[in-house]
Structure 1
Amino acid sequence: MMWPSSQASKILLFLLLVIIVYCIYMDTFLFLRIQNYKIDLYDPVENATQQESSTKSAKEQPCYEDVTWIPCTINPLCHPTVKGLMVDHINHYIYGPLCAIVDIGLGISERMLFITPNMISFFHVFIACVGANLLTCQNLAARRLGIVLFQLRMFLDDLDGHVARERKHIKGERSEVGTMGYWVDGICDFIGVIAMMLGILIYLKNNPPRRGYKGTPVSTLPYHQLKEINSSEDIEKEHTAEIGISYKTKVTFQRIVQVIGLFSGQMLLSSLTWNRYIDIYQDVLENCTNYDIVRREAAFKSGIFFFATALWRIVNPHSYLHLLSLAVFCDKTWVFLKTIHYSGYLCLVVAVATSEYLVDGIRTFVINGVEG
């Protein structure tokens, strides 16, 4: 290990608590920012025309850029968009501002024009392949290094989008569905996720979790008291315990494939539905300037819309990857996968059902002007 497990646990627990508190803090201020200040729901190409037709009440709202002390170039609260509300907390509140700082410091968007967003996407695929190779190692320090590389990959995934938006002078997070960059980014993300899952699969195949009965003869212990052990460190601790442990069999490779397959299915389903609702919400609230601004803004500011998008901040594919990365780093990969491979589908069903209900209401309200 890179440092004693007790010290690592304390540091990770402290960092996790800090990140959770920070994200709750930012979510709270994001909601207040949306409610109390102007929002920009217009397509960038038609922004000037749409602003001229905005209502007097909208013009009287204060501008957030005039009151915030954090420059909007790095402030994730300045330009709330549909996608910005649905991006996971780590990417939106941590990696997003870091990308802006790196871009400003290196001048990637303005001076390094030879570096294209697609080049950054291809490079993070290479990083993912190196990280996946490290995830297959039995040494925990090597696997932790692999996770660091995968977090770097996710940072670069944010950076390519940031550079693309800066060069097109687009404010806030937006998905340009159907463009070449959209498909290149999606394919590179897909390859990166596949690499990570293959690395974990190979590691678990070579180091399968064990099942055993602790302290009681196998023949007399009920099945529900079966204990699964994930790491060699845990096995060594059990061997040295006074009560001992009677091992059953290793978890079969077929079972490992099944659990990883079900988790990967969640990732795929989450990605498809997440992108679908981003596209739908953008079309209704941001891109179609023919719809009434007041109704679009009212729908965007509604509490139920904020709640529905908050669900996607938790169950989108990036959140799954962050949780999996934490599990691998803590050497609890199998415990996490086994816990989430079924229950995660329930969270997705709730998010999809909420969004489907909300989509109909928003369309009815925005397009027909009927309260939904």
Structure 2
Amino acid sequence: MALNIRESRWLQLTAALILIYFFVMDVSLYNRLQSFTFSSNKATESPNGEYHLSPISQIAMKTLLLDPPNHYIHVPLAVMFIEATNFSNVFPSITPNMISVSHVFVAACGMTLVWSDRLAVRQAGVLLFEVRSYLDALDGAVARSRARHNMIHLDIGSAGFFVDGICDTFGSIALYVGILVYLTSNLPSLGSRTKGGYSAVPLLLLPFSHPSKDSQERGGDGAPGVLPHAVNLIHKKRVVFMIICSALQMTLGSLFWNRTLDAYHSLLEIEPLTEGQRALQIEIFKSQSLWIIIWCWRLCNPHALLEMILISIFIDRLWEFLRWSQFYGFLVILSVTAVTQIHINHVTNLMALAALNGY
């Protein structure tokens, strides 16, 4: 039986508690950021450097730029699992790359559920993709545990970095394939949704669809009749176009997010040459401008976009989300990227000036 967030009180309560948890943790993170000192954040080779159970125990650009579900749920759960099972010592033969490959198979299983006509089955597929996200966090946690690194250390360019990136790409492709099959098999109406389904629209604007169990669950009767093949093909092309737009947003977000992480890591987490630069790093970390940029990226990075898509599938609002984000998504990503680049240039100039003045 499908879960309906409009009718299920416990589901509404769960969603509200998660949002409150994210808000409280963001406030705690901001307060932790204001008490930041460079010496307490310096990368450590201690085996316990990574595994504090609190997700805000360390201040690192990688965690600051993560979306709340990953930062506050998946990563802490992965750390707790490693701590509880002594994973690195008990399972030395299981490598981070093996975990990365495993979540591709989980995504493939989720894909076959996401394209189902039944909402309850699609919701199960969403849960499998959340398991995939957890495994994605686990492979990084295992890699850092065995290398005795904390979150400040970036393995950009390493073999594990590329394997993880490739597996993430296959996972995203699996999700989009599932969405494509579902939407082309159950073409949604282009009218506005009403309590009983979608409102009536002119025949030439209404794509062909078969009555499904989902439409019966919502109280709708489906689209009557059979439209000409040409009109049906046009609307299928529109579905494909919207999915391509979403995938392109995911790709751009990933590229810009990684570029942002690398730039801020180089500016704010590399050992400074002078005491003046060190003081400047701390000042920038505590600045309101950096916090605003961090918060924007936490909401529009590729992981966050993936979570939004999964939520829209779970509450049966996928088509509405794709329609809304078709163009607005590009506007948000490009705007955040532009503002971020301006800030990075400003910080670069400040650091260069501090080095030039020798303080």
TM-score, normalised with respect to structure 2: 0.85
Aligned to 1:2: 2
CA distance in 2, matches of 1:344, 1:215: 26
In structure 2, the CA distance between the partners of 1:206 and 1:289, relative to structure 1 (3 Å rule), is same
Do the aligned residues in 2 keep the contact of 1:215 with 1:246 (CA within 8 Å)?
Answer: no
- 1:281 maps to 2:264: yes
Aligned to 1:28: 27
Runs (5+) with no aligned partner, structure 2: 193-197
- 1:17 maps to 2:2: no
Aligned to 2:309: 324
Look up the equivalent residue of 2:80 and give its one-letter code: I
In structure 2, the CA distance between the partners of 1:288 and 1:199, relative to structure 1 (3 Å rule), is same
Do the aligned residues in 2 keep the contact of 1:135 with 1:200 (CA within 8 Å)?
Answer: yes
Do the aligned residues in 2 keep the contact of 1:238 with 1:245 (CA within 8 Å)?
Answer: no
**Counterpart among 266, 284, 298 of residue 299 in structure 1:** 284
**Counterpart among 127, 145, 148 of residue 106 in structure 2:** 127
- The superposition leaves residues 295-335 of structure 1 with CA deviations (integer Å, 9 ceiling, x where unpaired) of 22221221211111111000000101111111111122111
Deviation of the 1:164 alpha carbon:
0.9
**Counterpart among 166, 170, 174 of residue 145 in structure 2:** 166
In structure 2, the CA distance between the partners of 1:136 and 1:90, relative to structure 1 (3 Å rule), is same
- The superposition leaves residues 189-225 of structure 1 with CA deviations (integer Å, 9 ceiling, x where unpaired) of 0010011101110111111113469887949x9x8xx
Do the aligned residues in 1 keep the contact of 2:67 with 2:299 (CA within 8 Å)?
Answer: yes
Deviation of the 1:109 alpha carbon:
2.4
Deviation of the 1:36 alpha carbon:
1.9
Mapping of 1:99-178 within 5 angstroms?
A: 99-172=78-151, 174-178=153-157
In structure 2, the CA distance between the partners of 1:3 and 1:299, relative to structure 1 (3 Å rule), is closer
Do the aligned residues in 2 keep the contact of 1:120 with 1:156 (CA within 8 Å)?
Answer: yes
Look up the equivalent residue of 2:18 and give its one-letter code: I
CA distance in 1, matches of 2:199, 2:301: 41
Deviation of the 1:2 alpha carbon:
3.3
- 1:255 maps to 2:234: no
Aligned to 1:91: 70
Deviation of the 1:110 alpha carbon:
3.2
Look up the equivalent residue of 1:315 and give its one-letter code: C
Do the aligned residues in 2 keep the contact of 1:135 with 1:147 (CA within 8 Å)?
Answer: yes
344-353 or 151-160: bigger deviation: 344-353
Runs (5+) with no aligned partner, structure 1: 48-64, 66-70
**Counterpart among 188, 205, 212 of residue 167 in structure 2:** 188
35-44 or 272-281: bigger deviation: 35-44
| Identity across the alignment (%) | 30
Look up the equivalent residue of 2:31 and give its one-letter code: L
Deviation of the 1:14 alpha carbon:
2.5
Aligned to 1:50: none
CA distance in 2, matches of 1:159, 1:43: 20
Do the aligned residues in 1 keep the contact of 2:242 with 2:323 (CA within 8 Å)?
Answer: yes
Aligned to 1:237: 219
What SS does structure 2 have at the residue aligned with 1:115? coil
In structure 2, the CA distance between the partners of 1:158 and 1:14, relative to structure 1 (3 Å rule), is same
Do the aligned residues in 1 keep the contact of 2:187 with 2:209 (CA within 8 Å)?
Answer: no
What SS does structure 1 have at the residue aligned with 2:269? helix
Look up the equivalent residue of 1:29 and give its one-letter code: S
CA distance in 2, matches of 1:306, 1:230: 48
CA distance in 1, matches of 2:159, 2:87: 20
Look up the equivalent residue of 1:163 and give its one-letter code: V
Aligned to 2:195: none
In structure 2, the CA distance between the partners of 1:218 and 1:364, relative to structure 1 (3 Å rule), is closer
Do the aligned residues in 2 keep the contact of 1:273 with 1:352 (CA within 8 Å)?
Answer: yes
- How many pairs were matched up? 340
CA distance in 1, matches of 2:141, 2:186: 39
